[in-house]
């Protein structure tokens, strides 16, 4: 960035184009504009992370504002304060002189104040005969007034981010508690399933939370916990449903077993389904709606589907559904078979199922017959997307670990 150096009796002070822009913006303040100086200060404190400021700089800004006699910063009035360094040190809680000068520089570079230098570099004011200030040299607070709305928006963004992070952490706590209770109940009552693998997966996710700091990382961990919880719930539900609906053949119809989740996508459909038998229309009355999953988690688990989306990117459910139609044709799934899946599962869930099938297409003999079987099971209330997604996530986990 180009810079200009202005010579003063006390050396050369560096001026950046950013500070020049700040002065131009201050000169274009809307006529008659006013704002509470302490409201602006509170917004600046909230937005300090976005402005790149530390607590000492905020203490210096507080001291500068305390030398402005009015509560409101008003366009057209004298917005220059001219305290000495000694006065500022006292009002900034006795910080060192070098620290004061350093943080004054931070405020200038952040575009919150700018310097009105006198010919000799000192800060003072010249008053008229009536006692009013005609000319003042020191620190101009006009940038704060000019940016009052911007600072308020930045403060709001930070507050929303904190709230969003708080909600994510609360959901993580609830998910961890629920998973722990479900695993304990299942193992104590001897429920079928590879509960040691589930326990290991749960421990791995919770251990990773210790090193996650960014919001995105916490959100991804929440997705993984949500998927794990849904998988456990579905595993237990399938067992209960099978026991109640048909005790004679329950063991043979429990296809979703966590101990073999990676083989879910290799399930071979029955001969009747392979011949194209359509699921019973009455089967569309599901015992319970298929649970929804976050779109971001689906895309991360099934990345290949993005190649068939408009523009090669999936940003919303409409993109996923459009890509699923392309994949349906590519894999040889008949229009009637996919339509049946949409009617029974819903368009979004049918698109997710196609994304999962695409990920494991090399392990499936007939994508069309496989989708029809999933549709029939969904109609009977015996199928959920959770275990299918979980299987893909577990398969992809070693790859992610190696790449990390």
231 and 143 in a common domain = no
Q: Sign of torsion, CA 138 142 147 151?
A: positive
Same domain, 388 and 302: yes
Residue 12 has pLDDT above 70, yes or no: no
Average the pLDDT over 33-41 and give the result.
93
Residues 56 and 175 in one domain: no
Q: What is the mean pLDDT of the chain?
A: 77
The answer as to whether 103 is a domain residue is: yes
Stretch among 117-126, 206-215, 264-273 having the lowest mean pLDDT: 264-273
Q: What are the tens digits of pLDDT across the range 226-247? A: 888 888 887 777 665 555 544 4
Domain at 131, CATH number:
1.10.10
Select the more confidently predicted residue: 194 or 2.
194
Q: Which of 111-115, 162-166, 203-207, 385-389 has the lowest mean pLDDT?
A: 385-389
Average pLDDT, stretch 18-36?
A: 69
334 or 192, higher pLDDT: 334
- Residue 246: the pLDDT is 46
pLDDT > 70 fraction of the chain, expressed in percent and rounded: 75
Q: How far is residue 231's CA from residue 136's CA, in Å, rounded to a whole number?
A: 70
- pTM (two decimals): 0.53
Whole-angstrom CA distances from 274 to 95, 325, 345, 365, 371 are: 80, 21, 20, 10, 10
| pLDDT band of 148, cuts 50, 70, 90 | very high
Per-residue pLDDT at 259: 35
Give the mean model confidence (pLDDT) for residues 357-374.
Answer: 87
More confident residue, 153 or 229: 153
User: In this predicted structure, what is the pLDDT of residue 282?
Assistant: 41
On the question of pLDDT at 125 being above 80, the answer is: no
90 and 169 in a single domain? The answer is: no
Per-residue model confidence (pLDDT) at position 47: 93
The answer on 70 and 40 residing in a single domain is: yes
- Same domain? For 139 and 189 the reply is no
Domain boundary at 152, 178, 204, which?
152
Range of the domain at 29: 17-152
Answer whether residue 399 shows pLDDT above 70.
Answer: no
Q: What six digits make up the tokens of 261? A: 């989740």
Residues 306 and 345 in one domain: yes
Question: Which residues are registered as beta bridge partners of 74?
Answer: 34
337 in any annotated domain? yes
Let me know how long the chain is: 404
pLDDT at 159: 92
Check whether residue 91 and residue 191 sit in a common domain.
Answer: no
381 versus 152: which is more confidently predicted? 152
Last residue of a domain, one of 126, 152, 178: 152
Region 365-389: mean pLDDT is 85
CB 1 within 8 A of CB 17: yes
Between 326 and 290, the higher pLDDT residue? 326
Residue 48: pLDDT band (50, 70, 90) is: very high
Task: Count the helix, strand and coil residues of the chain and give each as a percent rounded to the nearest 5.
Answer: 65, 10, 25
Percent of the chain at pLDDT > 90 equals: 23
Q: Residue 65 — pLDDT band, cuts 50, 70, 90?
A: very high
Residue 200 included in any domain? yes
Instruction: Label residue 24 by pLDDT band (50, 70, 90).
Output: low
Domain count of the chain?
3
Q: Which pLDDT score, from 0 to 100, does residue 73 have? A: 92
Are 222 and 349 members of one domain? no
Note whether residue 404 is domain-resident: no
Last residue in a domain, options 152, 174, 197 = 152
Contact criterion met (CB below 8 Å) for 60 and 103: yes
């Amino acid at each position: 960035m180009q810079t200009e150096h202005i010579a003063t009796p006390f050396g050369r002070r560096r001026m950046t184009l950013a500070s020049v822009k700040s002065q131009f913006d201050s000169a274009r303040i809307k006529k008659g504009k006013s704002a509470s100086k302490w409201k602006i200060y509170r917004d600046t404190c909230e937005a300090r992370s976005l402005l790149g400021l530390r607590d000492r700089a905020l203490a210096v800004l507080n001291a500068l504002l305390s030398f402005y006699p009015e509560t409101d910063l008003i366009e057209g009035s004298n917005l220059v304060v001219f305290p000495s360094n000694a006065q500022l040190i006292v009002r900034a809680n006795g910080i060192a002189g070098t620290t004061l000068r350093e943080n004054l520089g931070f405020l200038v570079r952040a575009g919150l104040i700018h310097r009105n230098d006198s010919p000799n570099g000192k800060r003072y004011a010249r008053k008229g005969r009536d006692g009013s200030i005609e000319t003042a040299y020191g620190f101009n607070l006009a940038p704060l007034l000019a940016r009052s709305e911007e600072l308020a928006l930045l403060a709001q963004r930070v507050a929303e981010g904190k709230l969003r992070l708080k909600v994510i952490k609360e959901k993580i706590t609830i998910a961890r508690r629920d998973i722990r209770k479900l695993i304990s109940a299942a193992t104590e009552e001897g429920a079928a399933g590879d509960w040691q693998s589930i326990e290991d997966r749960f421990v791995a996710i919770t251990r990773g939370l210790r090193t996650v700091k960014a919001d995105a990382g916490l959100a991804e961990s929440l997705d993984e916990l949500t998927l794990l919880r849904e998988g456990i719930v579905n595993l237990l539900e399938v067992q209960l449903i099978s026991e109640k609906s048909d005790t004679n053949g329950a063991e043979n119809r429990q296809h979703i077993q966590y101990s073999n989740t990676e083989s879910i996508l290799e399930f071979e459909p029955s001969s009747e389904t392979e011949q194209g038998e359509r699921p019973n229309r009455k089967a569309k009355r599901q015992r319970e709606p298929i649970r929804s999953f976050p779109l971001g988690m689906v895309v991360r688990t099934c990345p290949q589907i993005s190649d068939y989306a408009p523009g090669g990117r999936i940003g919303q459910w409409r993109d996923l559904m459009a890509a699923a139609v392309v994949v349906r044709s590519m894999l040889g799934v008949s229009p009637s078979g996919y339509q049946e899946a949409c009617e029974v599962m819903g368009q979004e869930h049918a698109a997710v199922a196609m994304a999962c099938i695409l990920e494991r297409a090399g392990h499936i003999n007939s994508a069309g017959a496989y989708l029809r079987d999933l549709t029939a099971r969904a109609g009977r209330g015996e199928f959920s997307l959770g275990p299918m997604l979980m299987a893909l996530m577990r398969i992809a986990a070693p790859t992610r670990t190696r790449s990390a």
